Amino acid sequence: MPLALQGKVAVITGSTVGIGKAGAIGFAREGAKVVVSGRSRQRGEEVVDAIKKQGGEASFITADMLAVADIERLIKKAVAAYDRLDIFWHNAGIVGPDNVEDITEEIYDNMMAVHLKAAVFGAKFAVPEIRRAGGGSILFTGSIAGLKQASYSMTYSLAKSGLVMLARKLAVDLARDNIRVNCICPGRVETERRVAIAGQKAQELGITKEEWVKRDIQRIPLGRYVTEQEVISAALFLVSDKASSITGVALPIDGGFLAV
Ligand SMILES: NC(=O)c1ccc[n+]([C@@H]2O[C@H](COP(=O)([O-])OP(=O)(O)OC[C@H]3O[C@@H](n4cnc5c(N)ncnc54)[C@H](OP(=O)(O)O)[C@@H]3O)[C@@H](O)[C@H]2O)c1
């Protein structure tokens, strides 16, 4: 059976760790040439090594999503390396404080820049290249925080909800170019970051990490966190030809959290 992304070139922002790293490895396993990106060269090169060890093709390009010039350079260098671009997945993300009183102008600006501004400018630079390749896919990593008011950082929720609307808007505008644009909205995913958050929250409440996780997953109908691989399966589906008629959607991957 042919691989789902054979011959495709994919740029994935925020792929030095976590969901993006798993995505880079997963996309490469499906035949894509993957451009791994983030600020940490060391971690990025480790991802590239892991892909090459499994027989895949990848390279690392450092880029800070706070800098539009870096985003433009990322796309240009990716196309210079592989001659085309089929998939742009903006996955980089940060977390912020929960309360309005704790917001500073810098926190607000960074949150909007890393998630939303980088998505807009990433699309701006990626679209002409994907069009030149005859069409392809743009994917954003949103969050259930962008779909439902829950206990998430205010600025994070605002930025993630913006990605849902951006995906819809671009899906309509770019449909004639055969460019599909979608947003994945993970719930709580079992990542290094999740483990760190669990430790911090448990400490604040004076309980063990295990006890905090037990309480936390009670709100999820499937009774567990989502795995990185489950997020990657959805991402892979949406960028592949298997989803050739799907554009403008915000797909929750949340163990049923939004259904409650
Ligand atoms: N984990 C969850 O439960 C969960 C749930 C819903 C949505 N999400 C979303 O999924 C995405 C990945 O989450 P994760 O848990 O895998 O996060 P993570 O482990 O904290 O990784 C974040 C990634 O973003 C990159 N990044 C952060 N700031 C950047 C900047 N200024 N410029 C370039 N890259 C930057 C980091 O790379 P460098 O440090 O190398 O720059 C890293 O690769 C995020 O958009 C997040 O909001 C996560």
Q: Which domains does the chain have, with CATH numbers?
A: 9-189+227-255 (3.40.50.720), 190-225 (no CATH)
Cβ neighbours around 222 below 10 Å, total = 12
Separation of 91 CA from ligand 1 center, angstroms?
6
Q: 192 in ligand 1 pocket by Cβ < 6 Å?
A: yes
Q: Which residues are catalytic?
A: 156
Helix, coil or strand: residue 252: strand
Task: Decide: 59 and 113 in contact? Cβ < 8 Å.
Answer: no
3-state secondary structure of 140: strand
5 close to 34: Cβ distance less than 8 angstroms: no
**Per residue in 48-85, pLDDT tens?**
999 999 999 999 999 999 999 999 999 999 999 999 99
Residue 38 contacts residue 12 (beta carbons within 8 Å) = no
CA distance 17 to 9: 20
Q: Is the CB of 186 under 6 A from ligand 1?
A: yes
Looking up tokens 């979608």 gives 182
Q: Kindly tell me if the per-residue pLDDT of 166 is higher than 90.
A: yes
Residue 29 sits at φ, ψ, to 5 deg, of -60, -25
pLDDT at 150 over 80: no
Give pLDDT tens digits for 183-234: 999 999 998 888 888 888 899 999 999 999 999 999 999 999 999 999 999 9
Nearest to 141 by CA among 112, 99, 183, 176: 183
Ligand 1 pocket: which of 21, 90, 94 to mutate (most atoms <8 Å of CB)?
94
| Ligand 1 binding pocket includes 22 (Cβ within 6 Å) | no
Ligand 1 atom with the smallest distance to the CA of 39 is 41
Q: Is 154 in the pocket of ligand 1 (CB under 6 A)?
A: no
Non-local CB neighbours of 215 within 8 Å, separated by 6+ positions: none
In this structure, the residue with its CA closest to atom 12 of ligand 1 is 19
Strand order in the sheet with 57-62: 57-62, 33-38, 9-13, 87-90, 136-141, 179-186, 250-253
Determine if ligand 1 sits within 6 Å of the CB of residue 96: no
The span from the CA of 36 to the CA of 50, in Å, is 11
pLDDT band at 149 (very low <50, low <70, confident <90, very high): confident
